[in-house]
Amino acid sequence: MATAEQIKNLIRAHYQNDTGRFQSISLQIAANEARSGHHKLAKELKSIIDKGSPAQKNFDKNGMSASNVNELDGSLQLKFTSVRKNEIVLSSSVQEHLDKVITEHKSAASLREFGLTPRRKLLFHGLPGTGKTISASMLATELNMPFYAILLDGLMSKYMGETAAKLRTIFNFISNNQAVYLFDEFDSIGSSRGQGNDVGEIKRILNSFLVFFEEEQSNSIVIAATNHVESLDKALFRRFDDIIEFDLPSEDEIKRLIQNKFLLFKFKIHKWDAIYDAAQGLSYAEIVKACDDAAKQAVLNNNKIVDESFLLLSLNSKTKL
């Protein structure tokens, strides 16, 4: 349900003719419903919002034209996900970084009294499946913000100059709509200006991103995620407030992850060393899939008892992929 504050702000935005703010609050309400498990209602709200966009005035109070908003189709996707901090397992180092982000944003008003701002431009890097995307979703959930993914395949254009224009529209939206934004596979636009076949176009796109990224000073959280941090242009690093490295799980994290996955089941591991050996080199996502396989078998056997040997077999099958 919408909070009292959201309802008041929604009414204020309507009477102030602030369509950008009205849309942002409406999306926050939709995201809240999704986090509460009301996915059908959340999708209906999102559909109403989307259908209402073309009927907006040519320009809203924040300078975003209706045509600009429509240009975001295919480049920006609202994610209806809900992930609490206690539902995921991460390394202590990563968790410490993310806790700082959450704490600073919850105390943003106190920080601003002293001319300080919460860290909000983040670089996530590490192997696939190590928790980058789910951590972005967790930040959105814990801070009660909508979560958007920037779809780079929709953003990148074969026509020279169009990608930079789309980037500008994306950053205008980010500035006017407080949320968590994820640029996944960021190396596709953040790669070194000396790489690639079309060096000139890559340089133009990256230079545009650097300018828009530096100028963007909203309350949104902007996250760039990559599996190939070594390919990023060095000029990018100093523009991030925090750089967080995601790694493969340690033995302790493997154990916590498996225990977390089987909270609703009866299970007892007798051979943790064998489990650690089988899970060695696997990502968090691959271990979760192996646990899901074992959980499905427990449900289908109608006893809710996780078979340790089946879990080992499933982990070993993931290792061979």
How confident is residue 35, by pLDDT bands cut at 50, 70 and 90?
A: low
* Helix or strand (DSSP H, E) at 294: helix 284-300
- In tens, the pLDDT along 8-28 reads 878 887 777 766 667 767 877
Model confidence pTM above 0.95: no
CATH fold of 72-246, please?
Rossmann fold (3.40.50)
Residue matched to tokens 């806790």: 99
C-alpha–C-alpha distance, residues 131 and 292, integer Å: 17
Secondary structure (DSSP) of 193-209: TT-SS-HHHHHHHHHHH
- In tens, the pLDDT along 97-149 reads 999 999 999 999 999 999 999 999 999 999 999 999 999 999 999 998 999 99
How many of the other CB atoms lie within 10 Å of CB of 63?
A: 11
pLDDT of residue 64: 45
Secondary structure (DSSP) of 229-272: GGGB-HHHHTT-SEEEEE----HHHHHHHHHHHTTTSB---S-H
316's CB contacts (< 8 A; 6+ apart) are 278
C-alpha–C-alpha distance, residues 114 and 110, integer Å: 7
pLDDT of residue 73: 61
Spatial strand order of the sheet with 121-126 comes to 76-79, 147-150, 180-183, 221-226, 121-126, 242-246
Q: Where are the alpha helices (H) located in 53-89, listed in sequence order?
A: 66-71
The CATH class for the domain spanning 251-319 reads mainly alpha
For residue 141, the number of C-alpha atoms closer than 13 Å in the C-beta half-sphere is 20
Residue boundaries of the structural domains of the chain: 1-55, 72-246, 251-319
Amino acid at 192: S
C-alpha–C-alpha distance, residues 216 and 222, integer Å: 10
Residue 172 has pLDDT above 80, yes or no: yes
pLDDT of residue 63: 41
Whether 58 and 65 have beta carbons less than 8 Å apart is answered as yes
Tokens linked to 193:
């200006």
pLDDT of residue 80: 80
